[in-house]
Chain A
Amino acid sequence: MSTFLDINVPGEWLQRARASDPVAQRSIYAALARPVYTLLRRLVLRPAVAEELLQEVFLEVLRNLGAYTGAGSFAGWVRSIAVSKALMHLRSPWHARLLPGDCQGAITAHAAPPGEGVDWGSDLERALNELPDVSRSIVWLHDVEGYTHAEIARLYERTASFSKSQLARAHAALRDALEPKFGDPECTFASKN
Chain B
Amino acid sequence: MHLRLEELISLRDRQPVDAASASHAAACAQCTAGIRRLAALRADMRQLPGIAPPELWPVIEARLGVDSTATPQRRWTSIAAAGSVVALVLALAASFPQFQAGAPVTTARAAGDVPLEKLVERSQRLETTLRQLPQRPAVEVAANSVAIDALQSRIQRLDVELASDEAGESGQDRQQELWSQRVSLLNSLFGVRYAEAVHAGYRATQEEGSL
Q: Which chain A residues border B3 with CB–CB below 8 Å?
A: 187-188
The answer, among B9, B48, B56, B59, for a CB contact under 8 Å with A164, is B9
Chain A residues with CB below 8 A from B135, complex form: 59, 63
Given A25-B64, A63-B67, A171-B38, A189 contacting B5 (CB threshold 8 A) = yes
The reply to whether B6 and A193 form a contact with Cβ atoms under 8 Å apart is yes
Inter-chain contact B60/A59, CB cutoff 8 Å: yes
Contact (Cβ within 8 A) B63 A59: yes
Determine whether the beta carbon of B49 is less than 8 Å from that of A121: yes
Give the one of B31, B45, B59 with max A CB within 10 A.
B45
Interface class of chain B by DSSP: helix
* A125–B56 alpha-carbon span in the complex (Å): 24
Interchain CB contact under 8 A, A188 and B59: no
Interface residue total, chain A, C-beta cutoff 8 A: 67
Asked if B38 and A187 make an inter-chain contact with CB atoms under 8 angstroms apart, the answer reads no
A-B residue pair count with CB separations less than 8 angstroms: 147
Chain B residues in 8 Å Cβ range of A50: 53
Whether A120 lies near B44 (C-beta < 8 A) is: yes
Q: A20 contacts which of B52, B71, B162 (Cβ < 8 Å)? A: B71
Kindly state the separation between the CA atoms of A33 and B60 in the bound complex, as whole angstroms: 11
Alpha-carbon separation in the docked complex, A186 to B54 (Å): 46
List which A1-30 residues lie within 8 A (CB) of chain B: 1, 3, 19-22, 25-26, 29-30
Chain B proximity of A52: nearest CB distance (Å)? 6
Q: Report whether B41 and A113 are in contact in the complex, using a CB–CB cutoff of 8 Å.
A: no
B interface residues, tally (CB under 8 Å):
52
Q: Is B8 an interface residue (CB 8 A)?
A: yes
Asked if A33 and B44 sit within 8 Å, CB to CB, the answer is no
A190 and B5 form a contact (CB under 8 A): yes
Cβ of B2 and Cβ of A187 under 8 Å apart? yes
Q: For A111, what are the chain B residues with a Cβ–Cβ distance below 8 Å?
A: 48-49, 51
Q: A188 to chain B: which residues have CB within 8 Å? A: 2-3, 5, 8, 30-31, 33-34
A171 CA to B39 CA, complexed, in Å:
11
- Contacting A at CB under 8 A, from B29-73, are 30-31, 33-34, 37-38, 41-42, 44-54, 56-57, 59-61, 63-64, 67, 69-71
The 4 nearest A-B residue pairs measured at CB = A37-B53, A188-B34, A191-B5, A93-B162
A interface residues with partner B (beta carbon < 8 Å):
1, 3, 19-22, 25-26, 29-30, 33-38, 41, 50-52, 54-56, 58-59, 62-63, 91-94, 96-97, 107, 110-113, 116-117, 120-121, 124-125, 128, 139-140, 143-144, 164-165, 167-168, 171-172, 174-175, 178-179, 186-193
Please name 10 further chain A to chain B contacts, defined as beta carbons within 8 Å, in addition to the given A55-B56, A168-B4, sorted by A numbering: A21-B71, A22-B74, A37-B51, A93-B158, A96-B163, A111-B51, A144-B45, A171-B41, A190-B4, A192-B4
Q: Contact residues of B with A, CB < 8 Å?
A: 1-6, 8-10, 30-31, 33-34, 37-38, 41-42, 44-54, 56-57, 59-61, 63-64, 67, 69-71, 74, 120, 123-124, 127, 131, 135, 158-159, 162-163, 166, 182
